Structure 1
Amino acid sequence: MSTQMVRSPVNPEQLNLLQEVFDQACAEHHIDKASPDAEALALILVNSLQKGSGDKDRLAALAETLARSR
């Protein structure tokens, strides 16, 4: 039996935060928003936010780390 973390839905304010962090990371690291790298970045950011990491600085740091490691 597996334990699954409950993820909360994303509200409009959080969606705006995600979009801002995503856009900034894509611009700074020249990531095409239609690329698989961008899709992976977006999924990880959404999952992190849903698991409780809703702080802009934490999300931006995560995006920076992910963008540099691609």
Structure 2
Amino acid sequence: MRSQPVRRPVGPDQLSLLQQVFDTACNQYQIGKDTPDGEALAVILVNSLQKGMDEKEALASLAETMAHSR
């Protein structure tokens, strides 16, 4: 059996952090929130946070990397 990666639930403070990083990245890199790129960014940010990446700077850096690779 393959073990599943640990995913922690997202609390209100973390949700607020995700929203800030997502909104900033969408504005800064001209990503439409309802576009496939916006949806992919949201999924990547949530998954990364659930796996333990919970610092704003790290999430913002991840968003920047994704924006430049699209």
The alignment's TM-score, normalised by the length of structure 1, stands at: 0.97
Query: 1:37, CA displacement in angstroms?
Result: 0.3
Partner of 2:22: 22
Between Structure 1 and Structure 2, how many residues are aligned? 70
The alignment's TM-score, normalised by the length of structure 2, stands at: 0.97
Q: Which structure 1 residue ranges, 4+ long, deviate > 2 Å from structure 2?
A: none
- Encode CA deviations 1:21-40: one digit per residue, 9 max, x unaligned: 00011001111111000000
Superposed CA RMSD:
0.5
| Structure 2, unpaired ranges of 5+ | none
| Structure 1, unpaired ranges of 5+ | none
